[in-house]
Chain A
Amino acid sequence: MASLLFYALSAIAVLCALGVVISRNPMQSVLNLLGSFVAVAAIYLLAGFQFLAAAQILVYAGAIMVLFIFVVMLLNLTDREESQSVWMGLFNGRILGSLAVFAGLTVSGLIAANGNFAPVDTISHDGNLDNMTLLAEVLFSKYMLPFEAASLLLLATLVGVMLLAKRERNGERHGAQLSSQDGGSEA
């Protein structure tokens, strides 16, 4: 039953991910992405990682999705016309190619291995600890360094993004100038 559920959820996640790439309407892409996120969260739940599932829903389906939708609405991409058919565009865009390579590699790898997976390195505990405590314990002991380094990563990314997006002091923006110059060729 559990494995059936797992395969069903995986299929949903993969199909939704495919839908993100194939949909012509950006809004549909975003909704497909949402479906993929939720399916992955359900897989986490199935595997017993309640916290990860909650974080997946809160962070990805919640915060990041809202940003995506904002951007799509602000850019007003919905009425963009494409002369090519969707499938031609896909073939030209190499997206399908890379997807095919990835899928092929995964499938062949999984089949060839005949289900010979290594037992996952479960963290030993006496059953009294709940999920969150377990996570916290590992984060602050064994994986202290990556956990702390990730904070520097986030900070540096924040500064990097700000550097590119910040207005200059006289209120003029390079980005704005550029987009007005580029507007013709882009459209």
Chain B
Amino acid sequence: MIASIMIQEAAQATTELQAQFNDVFSGGAAAALMPFTALAVGALLMLLVDIIKGGAKLRPVVVIASLLTSAFCAWNQIGEPASAVLGGTYLVSSATAAFSLIFAIGALFAWVYGIGYYEGKLQEFRGEHDMLMLSATAGMILMVGAGDLLVFFIGLEILSLPLYSLAAFRRARHDSIEAGLKYFLLGAFAAAFFLFGAALIYTATGTVNLAELASLYQGEVAQSPIALIGGALLMAGIFFKVSVFPFHLWVPDVYQGSPTPITTLMATGTKAAAFGFLIPASFLLPPAATGIIAAIALLTMAAGNLGALVQTNVKRMLAYSGIAHAGTVMLVMAVILASGGDSDVRDESMNATLFYMAAYLFTSTGAFGLLAMLEREGEHMLTLNGLRGLARRRPAVAGAMTLFMLSLGGIPATGGFMGKLYVFMLLVKQDMIAVAILGALLSVIALGYYLRIIVTMWMEPLGEGEEAKLAPVTLPASIVTGLCVAGVLVMGLMPGWLLGLLG
């Protein structure tokens, strides 16, 4: 008798669980997660391919197939209505899909530039290298799609941990190990900040779900000191990843020490992923923080641009330039806060961020990629001295590099210009004219070092004895460089087309 009751109860519990399970998986969760799943499967396949005899030849197939599948699925999601799946832990919208697309393309480009970059024994670890690259990209997708602080944190770690070891990938070199160690220690510190902030927010509100938090923050919870401190700490953790002003000091060393293809991925992907979360989560900061955020943004631009002016190593210079660009995007955050979290302004700001990051993706990937190519001729090619007279030896490379520098500097007819214009327009619309003027002035300083590279390449004589060495330019790398050039020009000349896609 008792046994039959227990069985009945168990059966009932099972049906309830089943119902709950179905409930969670309704609404196309599998389709929504496809960009992430494709990369996760790719990462697993990469490990499998590595242990099969002769499977090494399949590695490029796995990388390209999973990245393209991910990009294709993300492309299909663009334009679909926003929805939350898996019990609100994952969000899909045009914006998250566009970000996922950016990550997949960026990772693919970075990977292509990595072909032939590693020499000798490092080739042995190519499988692990590619697997970590795929996981890091999967982490980025999870970050922008996160509907929950928990999911975001796990995405952040899936992104960060592989990058720590990839930064130290050339482990025979001191600077590479230094980069890995620095990135790891400071990254762990930032993760602790984030977690502490998230814990305080949970204490104040009792939830980590972003949608629930957003509605709670409309009320008086936003005024509670615990929530405020939590929000500030959480933002500090993310600001580290975005590399804005007080948290930017690690960037030059880490970017310089990491293998250049990995630097490419860090510079474009990590930043875009963190911004993709910052914009929708900006409600965690009170509107009163507008001034602080605007100041941080301007200081970041100043620190990046002034730091870059004195560099002679081009890779380091581009790292500082990346800091300055992060500052420009931070201005968007100030706009949202100034509007008091108005949803129209937030959507507009999201589009501006997306456009800026897409333009930065093509420009920065192209610039770092060309550096990775030149680096194969010798380490000295990374310095301004090495670039002297490059136009005479390699007009095509110098031409592409010139375009990327112009785009980074924000010269009209390039994607970089349209991105900056969009950001400054948003500022003016919010009546933050002083901030816009200061930002524009700081961007002008940047032209100083971008133009220096162009002048060095085109107008200075060749260094001695450098005619002989010419590393062959591989076909995939030329195709990707061509795509980057096309991307920069299309975004600069026909920005409306791209914005139309986002609606």
Hey, which bits of chain A sit against chain B, CB under 8 A? 102, 105, 108-110, 112-113, 116-121, 128, 137, 140-146, 149-150, 152-153, 155-157, 159-164, 166, 168-169, 174-175, 177-178
With A110-B226, A118-B204: A141-B125 Cβ-Cβ less than 8 Å: no
Please name all residues of chain A whose beta carbon is closer than 8 Å to the beta carbon of B200 when the two chains form the complex: 109
With A160-B161, A177-B172: A141-B224 Cβ-Cβ less than 8 Å: no
Do residues A166 and B125 form an inter-chain contact, with CB atoms below 8 A?
yes
How many chain B residues sit at the interface, stated as a range, is 35 or more
Say which residue of A102, A113, A153 sits within 8 Å of B225 (CB atoms). A113
Q: Within the complex, what minimum Cβ distance (angstroms) separates B417 from chain A? A: 37
Q: Within the complex, what minimum Cβ distance (angstroms) separates B403 from chain A? A: 35
> Is B101 an interface residue, CB under 8 A from the partner?
no
Do residues B177 and A118 form an inter-chain contact, with CB atoms below 8 A?
no
The interface centre, meaning the residue of A102, A156, A174, A177 with most chain B CB atoms within 10 A of its CB, is A156
Do residues B131 and A153 form an inter-chain contact, with CB atoms below 8 A?
no
Please name all residues of chain B whose beta carbon is closer than 8 Å to the beta carbon of A168 when the two chains form the complex: 121, 124
Please name all residues of chain B whose beta carbon is closer than 8 Å to the beta carbon of A108 when the two chains form the complex: 225, 229
A-B contact pairs, 20 of them (CB 8 A): A109-B226, A117-B203, A117-B204, A137-B17, A141-B23, A141-B87, A142-B87, A142-B89, A143-B87, A143-B150, A144-B89, A146-B148, A149-B142, A152-B43, A153-B158, A156-B136, A159-B131, A160-B166, A161-B165, A168-B124
Do residues A156 and B43 form an inter-chain contact, with CB atoms below 8 A?
yes
The interface centre, meaning the residue of A118, A144, A166 with most chain B CB atoms within 10 A of its CB, is A118
Do residues A121 and B206 form an inter-chain contact, with CB atoms below 8 A?
yes
Do residues A178 and B177 form an inter-chain contact, with CB atoms below 8 A?
yes
A144 to B161 alpha-carbon distance, docked (Å): 21
Do residues B89 and A143 form an inter-chain contact, with CB atoms below 8 A?
yes
Say which residue of B128, B168, B196 sits within 8 Å of A159 (CB atoms). B128
With A145-B86, A160-B162: A169-B124 Cβ-Cβ less than 8 Å: yes
Please name all residues of chain A whose beta carbon is closer than 8 Å to the beta carbon of B348 when the two chains form the complex: none
Do residues A145 and B90 form an inter-chain contact, with CB atoms below 8 A?
yes
Q: Tell me whether chain B's interface is mostly helix, strand or loop, or mixed.
A: helix
A4 to B224 alpha-carbon distance, docked (Å): 26
> Is B24 an interface residue, CB under 8 A from the partner?
yes
The interface centre, meaning the residue of A109, A143, A150, A160 with most chain B CB atoms within 10 A of its CB, is A160
A52 to B503 alpha-carbon distance, docked (Å): 47
Do residues B225 and A112 form an inter-chain contact, with CB atoms below 8 A?
yes
How many A-B Cβ pairs are below 8 Å? 129
The interface centre, meaning the residue of A110, A119, A149, A166 with most chain B CB atoms within 10 A of its CB, is A149
A138 to B174 alpha-carbon distance, docked (Å): 46
Do residues A149 and B20 form an inter-chain contact, with CB atoms below 8 A?
no
Do residues A163 and B206 form an inter-chain contact, with CB atoms below 8 A?
no
The chain B residue with its CB closest to the CB of A151 is: B40
Q: Within the complex, what minimum Cβ distance (angstroms) separates B174 from chain A? A: 7
A52 to B118 alpha-carbon distance, docked (Å): 45
Please name all residues of chain B whose beta carbon is closer than 8 Å to the beta carbon of A175 when the two chains form the complex: 171
0/1 string, B109-149, CB within 8 A of A gives 1: 00000000000010011001101100110110010000010
A163 to B132 alpha-carbon distance, docked (Å): 10
Say which residue of B165, B196, B207 sits within 8 Å of A164 (CB atoms). B165
0/1 string, B276-298, CB within 8 A of A gives 1: 00000000000000000000000
Please name all residues of chain A whose beta carbon is closer than 8 Å to the beta carbon of B138 when the two chains form the complex: 152
Starting from the known contacts A112-B226, A153-B161, A157-B162, 16 additional A-B residue pairs (CB-CB under 8 Å) come to A102-B196, A109-B230, A110-B226, A117-B226, A118-B203, A143-B150, A144-B86, A145-B86, A150-B154, A156-B43, A156-B131, A160-B162, A163-B129, A163-B169, A169-B121, A174-B172
The chain B residue with its CB closest to the CB of A116 is: B224
Docked complex: B157-182 residues within 8 A CB-CB of A: 157-158, 161-162, 164-166, 168-169, 171-172, 174, 177, 180
> Is B387 an interface residue, CB under 8 A from the partner?
no
Do residues B177 and A149 form an inter-chain contact, with CB atoms below 8 A?
no
Docked complex: B14-35 residues within 8 A CB-CB of A: 17, 20-21, 23-24, 33
> Is B47 an interface residue, CB under 8 A from the partner?
yes
7 tightest A-B contacts by CB? A160-B165, A118-B206, A156-B135, A112-B225, A142-B87, A109-B229, A174-B172
Please name all residues of chain A whose beta carbon is closer than 8 Å to the beta carbon of B20 when the two chains form the complex: 137, 141
Do residues B132 and A160 form an inter-chain contact, with CB atoms below 8 A?
yes
Docked complex: B180-232 residues within 8 A CB-CB of A: 180, 196, 200, 203-207, 221, 224-226, 229-230
Please name all residues of chain A whose beta carbon is closer than 8 Å to the beta carbon of B125 when the two chains form the complex: 163, 166
Do residues B161 and A156 form an inter-chain contact, with CB atoms below 8 A?
yes
Do residues A156 and B158 form an inter-chain contact, with CB atoms below 8 A?
yes
Do residues B151 and A157 form an inter-chain contact, with CB atoms below 8 A?
no
> Is B233 an interface residue, CB under 8 A from the partner?
yes
With A141-B20, A159-B132, A178-B177: A121-B168 Cβ-Cβ less than 8 Å: no
> Is B155 an interface residue, CB under 8 A from the partner?
yes
Please name all residues of chain B whose beta carbon is closer than 8 Å to the beta carbon of A142 when the two chains form the complex: 24, 87, 89
Q: Within the complex, what minimum Cβ distance (angstroms) separates A42 from chain B? A: 19
A98 to B166 alpha-carbon distance, docked (Å): 28
A140 to B124 alpha-carbon distance, docked (Å): 38
Do residues B90 and A105 form an inter-chain contact, with CB atoms below 8 A?
no
Please name all residues of chain A whose beta carbon is closer than 8 Å to the beta carbon of B221 when the two chains form the complex: 118
Do residues A152 and B89 form an inter-chain contact, with CB atoms below 8 A?
no
